[in-house]
């Protein structure tokens, strides 16, 4: 199997702008594995995972074969143990899917984008990790603007994730994405170091 020589982790808290950063890497021809997007798909496409979710959270977690995200979020974000139980189902499924995807790649490096790269332990499989930082207030504003979540819901999610300081302490590269920060030069600098 001709796997990429480097797996670069890309993470950041909710609303930090890691998806925007991922798009810049993609413009350079670097394949992106969007763990959070694939996880959402796996709730319906991975039958083993789907069955485990139903066993853990009950039949009403799915409506007409589709995951009831609002219901599941209301259960897990209010209870740390329930969130841990969900993560114990989702993380192994995403890891299996990632390995399958990785086997099909032929690029010299890939980006593995995940909101909870550190929390899930996935960073251990990465050759280097980039974290995207932004002020908490800006992250909250961005998150509210992009979906229907309330400020309280966003703050609850932030409280369940690592802080920027925790991520920075373990990351190899830091991208700052506050108002006025230029992302492209920061990404280009990292690409030079990774590929240089």
With 80 as the cut, is the pLDDT of residue 80 above it? yes
What predicted TM-score, i.e. pTM, was given to this entire model? 0.89
With 50 as the cut, is the pLDDT of residue 1 above it? no
- Residue 160's pLDDT band, with cuts at 50, 70 and 90, is confident
Region 127-153 average pLDDT: 92
Q: Residue 161: its pLDDT value, please?
A: 87
Domains in the chain and their CATH numbers?
1-31+107-196 (3.40.50.300), 37-104 (3.40.50.300)
Q: Residue 97: its pLDDT value, please?
A: 96
Q: Which residue has the tokens 């961005």?
A: 142
Q: Is the CB of residue 144 less than 8 Å from the CB of residue 196?
A: no
Tell me the pLDDT of the chain averaged across its residues.
92
pLDDT for 161-196, tens place per residue?
A: 899 999 999 999 999 999 999 999 999 999 999 887
Q: Which residue has the tokens 């920027």?
A: 164
pLDDT for 17-34, tens place per residue?
A: 999 999 999 999 999 999
Give the angle subtended at the CA of 74 by the CAs of 54 and 65, to the nearest 5°: 35
pLDDT for 54-64, tens place per residue?
A: 999 999 999 99
CB atoms closer than 10 angstroms to residue 20: 14
């Amino acid at each position: 199997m001709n796997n990429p020589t480097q797996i670069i982790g890309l993470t950041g808290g909710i609303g930090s702008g890691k998806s925007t950063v991922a798009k810049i890497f993609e413009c350079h021809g670097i394949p992106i594995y969007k763990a959070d997007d694939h996880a959402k798909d796996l709730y319906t496409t991975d039958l083993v995972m789907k069955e485990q979710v139903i066993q853990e959270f009950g039949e009403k977690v799915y409506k007409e074969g589709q995951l009831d995200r609002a219901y599941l979020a209301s259960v897990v974000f209010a209870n740390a143990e329930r969130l841990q139980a969900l993560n114990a189902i989702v993380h192994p499924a995403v890891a299996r899917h990632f390995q399958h995807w990785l086997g099909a790649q032929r690029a010299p490096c890939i980006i593995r984008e995940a909101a909870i790269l550190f929390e899930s332990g996935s960073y251990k499989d990465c050759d280097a990790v980039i974290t995207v930082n932004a002020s908490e207030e800006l992250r909250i504003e961005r998150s509210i603007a992009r979906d229907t979540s309330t400020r309280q819901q966003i703050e609850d999610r932030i409280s369940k994730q690592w802080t920027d300081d925790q991520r920075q302490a373990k990351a190899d590269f830091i991208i700052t994405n506050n108002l006025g920060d230029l992302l492209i030069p920061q990404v280009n600098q990292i690409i030079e170091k990774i590929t240089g």
